[in-house]
Amino acid sequence: MLTTDPVLTVEKGITMPTNTQDGLSSSRNTGHIGWFPVRLITWSCSALKYLACEAAEYFHCPEKNLEQRKIKTVFVGAGPIGLWAAIQHKLNNPDADIQMFDKHSNYTRKHTVRVDLDSFKGAKMNLGLKFLKMKFEHLHGRIGCNVLEEQLLGIAKDLGIKVNNNGAEVTEIGPDSITLKDKTVIHYDQLVGADGAHSKMRKALQSQSLEKGEAVDLKAFGREDKNEEFSMRREIQYRARVRYQVKGNTKRLKSTWLSWMKHYYPVSKLFGSPVDEHIGPLKDNGTRTITLDFFVNQDEYDALYKDGKGFNLSHPANLTDLPESLSKKIRTWQELKHRNGEVNVEGSVEATPYALMYFQSKKVTAVTSQDKPVYLVGDCATALPYFRSLNNGLKCANGLGASLARGDRKPHRSKALTDNYDRLVDLRARKEFVVARLKDRAVSLLNGTLRLVNRSPLQLSYFKVQPAN
Ligand SMILES: Cc1cc2nc3c(=O)[nH]c(=O)nc-3n(C[C@H](O)[C@H](O)[C@H](O)COP(=O)(O)OP(=O)(O)OC[C@H]3O[C@@H](n4cnc5c(N)ncnc54)[C@H](O)[C@@H]3O)c2cc1C
């Protein structure tokens, strides 16, 4: 489900710890959260300015003597958000010349995403998108990220968008061209970075080189994200993902109301968090992987991440590496499942800590020395926890599609167009950060209540922790 980069793995709002050269990075929090009334006033002013600029652009006529050459738009990355932005661009301007490049021929994210139907608001629709919306309605908004990408890829190709996802890794960005891994140079008039959470395009934009007319070598950047890249980054919760193997068949702990009451609820109290349990398919060797995902407190997270440990997916902790509180929880879970007939494989426990975070890129747009606008969209611009990242990305991509179509007709307006897209991304991010913080308070309240109830001497349903073997 998660990618297994040896150094760092960040997925939508999910960041796996990084081993830096000088040990583990210190705080990954950056940016200042101002006083709420001040934020509200600045947000409202910014929203008004955004609307005024949108209206001005809408009524602004293109100059008569414009060069009639077709404007070429190039995308770095063809994930769901990049594809959505390209489709919106094409629907806003059917003559648009769009070329997309992606290094992977098979999209790698396979997790289920929850797509809000609200994300379609403000989007231009064609038959393909209407069909996709109906599919979301039917699936209650839940769809595999790779399935979504596949559907959007089909719609994009039908619209005449050229997608090269045959190992077309972009390795260099210049002020009016990009270079692929095989040294092919492609010129652009508008450039969009949609290369995901670890975006190298984001890193390239921070360097200001494009404005100075210098090319940026993307290969020179590591996958580690630095605080300087973000105007705001906050780790808001810590979680652990625990995997272990079992022999044959097993049942989820909360498979019925009775098992929820008898087993799942007391275990949640003990964990101090609801536990997401996923049972993998039966493998050839007759085993299955059980994945548990739950909130941990900062001490438990630090014990796995800090002090030179830095466990991650490619370097997971085993039961003996875990702090006592965590290993007690897992032993209790396994003991309970054992009583329900589950046979686990000895010594197969692997645990990985990760942080839920939100961030916003310090720079979301640039205008190069050749007067070409560059935009960031999707996870590379803003990442959010609690199933909001994709939805926010789709909404920003609606705005970007309209901006790119305007750029086709009015290429001399690049500064005005990029400035207003900047405002849109900032407005959306600030709103979503508030929602994320509110959800976070609710999660903390729920987890706190579970822990509190667990300490209460009077309990209707509880489970006694087994002593360590
Ligand atoms: C477990 C999990 C659950 C999630 N659930 C939800 C949810 O329920 N709701 C929600 O809204 N969001 C959810 N998200 C977040 C969501 O998956 C992301 O927001 C979304 O995938 C981001 O899309 P993207 O197109 O911006 O980036 P990506 O999907 O990361 O795509 C980036 C693309 O760029 C390509 N690329 C990168 N570098 C280059 C290069 N140099 N040259 C060429 N191509 C390049 C990559 O190959 C990739 O195809 C979840 C994330 C995770 C990890």
Q: Is the CB of 9 under 6 A from ligand 1?
A: no
Question: Where residue 204 falls among pLDDT bands split at 50, 70, 90?
Answer: very high
For position 387, what pLDDT does the model report? 84
Q: Which atom of ligand 1 is nearest to the CA of 14?
A: 53
Question: What are the tokens at 357?
Answer: 């975070």
Question: Where residue 134 falls among pLDDT bands split at 50, 70, 90?
Answer: very high
Name the CATH superfamily housing domain 36-233+362-437: FAD/NAD(P)-binding domain (3.50.50.60)
In DSSP notation, 311-322 reads -BTTB-B-GGGS
DSSP 23: E
Query: Given ligand 1 and candidates 195, 201, 391, which is best to mutate, with the most ligand atoms within 8 Å of its CB?
Result: 195
For residue 75, the Cα-to-chain-centroid distance in whole angstroms is 18
- How far is the centre of ligand 1, averaged over its atoms, from the C-alpha of 8 (Å)? 15
Which residue type, as a one-letter code, is found at position 183? K
Which residue type, as a one-letter code, is found at position 464? K
For position 464, what pLDDT does the model report? 65
- How far is the centre of ligand 1, averaged over its atoms, from the C-alpha of 219 (Å)? 20
Q: Is the pLDDT of residue 296 over 90?
A: yes
Q: Is the CB of 145 under 6 A from ligand 1?
A: yes
Q: pTM for this one?
A: 0.85
pLDDT digits (tens, 9 = 90+) for 339-352: 889 999 999 999 99
pLDDT digits (tens, 9 = 90+) for 400-453: 999 999 999 888 889 999 999 999 999 999 999 999 999 999 999 999 999 888
For position 28, what pLDDT does the model report? 80
- Report which of 292, 388, 335 is spatially closest to residue 14, judged by C-alpha positions: 388
Q: Is the pLDDT of residue 313 over 80?
A: no
Query: Given ligand 1 and candidates 386, 389, 392, 428, which is best to mutate, with the most ligand atoms within 8 Å of its CB?
Result: 389
Task: Specify burial of residue 286 (Cβ count, 10 A radius: 0-12, 13-18, 19+).
Answer: exposed
For position 257, what pLDDT does the model report? 87
| 258 half-sphere exposure, CB direction, 13 A CA radius | 0
- Report which of 2, 14, 1, 8 is spatially closest to residue 386, judged by C-alpha positions: 14
Crossing angle of helices 36-59 and 414-455, rounded to 10°: 150
Quote the CA–CA distance of 42 and 39 in Å, as a whole number: 5
- How far is the centre of ligand 1, averaged over its atoms, from the C-alpha of 386 (Å)? 15
Asked whether 224 and 382 are in contact (CB, 8 A), the reply is no
Q: Which of 190-194, 245-249, 255-259, 297-301 has the lowest mean pLDDT?
A: 255-259
- How far is the centre of ligand 1, averaged over its atoms, from the C-alpha of 391 (Å)? 12
- How far is the centre of ligand 1, averaged over its atoms, from the C-alpha of 203 (Å)? 17
Asked whether 237 and 227 are in contact (CB, 8 A), the reply is no
Query: What percent of the chain has a predicted confidence (pLDDT) above 90?
Result: 62
In the chain, where the domains are located: 10-24+236-356+439-455, 36-233+362-437
Asked whether 405 and 96 are in contact (CB, 8 A), the reply is yes
Which of 22 and 395 is assigned the larger pLDDT? 395
For position 290, what pLDDT does the model report? 94
For position 66, what pLDDT does the model report? 52
Q: Is the CB of 194 under 6 A from ligand 1?
A: yes
Asked whether 248 and 286 are in contact (CB, 8 A), the reply is yes
Q: Is the pLDDT of residue 309 over 90?
A: no
Cα distances (angstroms) measured from residue 22 to each of 66, 302, 306, 334, 353: 54, 17, 13, 37, 20
Strands (DSSP E) contained in 64-176 are 72-76, 97-101, 112-114, 142-144, 162-164, 170-173
pLDDT digits (tens, 9 = 90+) for 154-170: 999 999 999 999 999 99
Question: What are the tokens at 466?
Answer: 């087994």
Q: Is the pLDDT of residue 22 over 60?
A: no
**Residues in Cβ contact with 107 at an 8 Å cutoff, skipping those fewer than 6 apart:** 79, 145, 146, 149, 150
Q: Is the CB of 102 under 6 A from ligand 1?
A: yes
Atom 31, ligand 1: residue with shortest CA distance = 79
Backbone angles phi, psi at 221, to 5 degrees: -90, 140
Q: Is the pLDDT of residue 7 over 90?
A: no
Asked whether 203 and 230 are in contact (CB, 8 A), the reply is no
Q: Is the CB of 11 under 6 A from ligand 1?
A: yes
Query: Given ligand 1 and candidates 9, 106, 109, which is best to mutate, with the most ligand atoms within 8 Å of its CB?
Result: 109
- How far is the centre of ligand 1, averaged over its atoms, from the C-alpha of 196 (Å)? 5
Quote the CA–CA distance of 369 and 213 in Å, as a whole number: 5
Q: Which atom of ligand 1 is nearest to the CA of 383?
A: 19
- How far is the centre of ligand 1, averaged over its atoms, from the C-alpha of 389 (Å)? 9
